[in-house]
Amino acid sequence: MWHSGVALAVYATTLGLLDGLHMALRVPRVGRPVIWMHIIVGLLFYPVFIRLAVLFTRRFALDGRRQFRNVGVHMAIGLTLQYLHYLVMHTLLVTVVWPVFYPGRVISSPAIAGISPQHLREYPIDLLAYWIVIGFVYASRYYSELAAREVAAAKLEASLAEARLEVLRRQLSPHFLFNTLNAISVLALRGDNDAVIETLSRLSDLLRFAIDENHPQTVPLSEELSFLDGYLAIQQVRFDDRLRVELKVAPQALDALVPFMILQPIVENAIEHGTSAQCDGSSIAIKADIENDELRLSVSDSGPGFKSDHRSRPSRQVNGGGIGLANTRRRLEQLYGARHTIKYGPSPSGGAAVAIHIPFEPAPLQVLKETA
């Protein structure tokens, strides 16, 4: 990972500068050429040192079956690199720094460096630095694996959520088809052949959308209302003037993204429990507006309203099938989590009302062009 490389480069530079600082603070004091030699050599040596430490860490793992043996191997490698650093510094000091900057002065150090007290005193930082690199490699690996697991978990959760949404959406198609065919059978029993033909024609158009496997989970509200208009046209054939629909949609709400078929089961609920339950029919009001970055949808009817034993429940069942509000609520939970609300209760006209608030998210321009 690139940030690991940057961190190791910064670490190598810091070690090189600290090596020079160590010589500058040494007692007895040393000359500036010696200090600069330590800085230059440190800046050249530590990148190679760290690169080798990383390679050896990967070659001799400390989390495998031979971890105890590999601890000894790393101790030997660390001491070897430590000595090589000292050997380079000693050789340059004897062959370059003293002859160039201090001609005529006699150096007490031997030409061949051995294990001297100076070596033990001035270079234990290399052994510590080696083990710090080992710790960094394992910390970086753990972080990368953790990030990869989090990404994999997020992808899995997203795919599971998508699967749950698809299951919920597919529940609507047969339910929608069943109720529409039921309406057609009522028209056929009446002997209204023209209405049957018209309804079947509209149903074929709607089913192309309802059972489309490639249909997105969210669509612009304008597309959702277009689908709903086709469904209401079928119901209008069935109920004629007993079904009255009032639509109030703010223009800016038409481009908002909503779950596909989010309104149809609620409107179907209102029709089945409102219009069907009253001989003189009922009116249904569908509203949509935007307030405080929320899209607010509501469906209300003038029917008999919720039964008393339904008021305390989270949703109202439809035809005992458990689709209706329960399906809608689960889809909203999958898509928006805690960022949505769905409420139901009596409407101002005395019937039932359902209100949904979801975050306002405008549809992309490309999607709007495709649905235009």
Assign residue 360 the CATH number of its domain: 3.30.565.10
| 256 has a pLDDT exceeding 90 | yes
Joined together, the tokens standing for residue 248 give 């109030």
| 137 has a pLDDT exceeding 80 | yes
For the range 30-34, what are the long-range contacts, defined as Cβ-Cβ under 8 Å and sequence gap of 24 or more?
Answer: 31/101, 31/102, 33/97, 33/100, 33/101, 33/102, 34/93, 34/97
**For 163-190, how does the pLDDT look when each residue is reduced to its tens digit (9 = 90+)?**
555 655 555 556 667 777 877 888 888 8
Structural domains of the chain, count: 2
Report the C-alpha gap between 259 and 89 in whole angstroms.
Answer: 71
Highest mean pLDDT among 80-94, 140-154, 286-300: 286-300
pLDDT the model gives residue 13:
82
Q: Is residue 114 part of a domain?
A: yes
Mean pLDDT of 81-102: 78
Mean pLDDT of 43-55: 85
Same domain, 75 and 195: no
Same domain, 297 and 346: yes
| 108 has a pLDDT exceeding 60 | no
SS3 347: coil
When the pLDDT of each residue in the chain is averaged and rounded to a whole number, the result is 77
User: Between 129 and 121, where is the model more confident?
Assistant: 129
pLDDT the model gives residue 315:
36
Report the C-alpha gap between 257 and 366 in whole angstroms.
Answer: 13
Q: Which of 122, 149, 174 is the last residue of a domain?
A: 122
pLDDT the model gives residue 318:
35
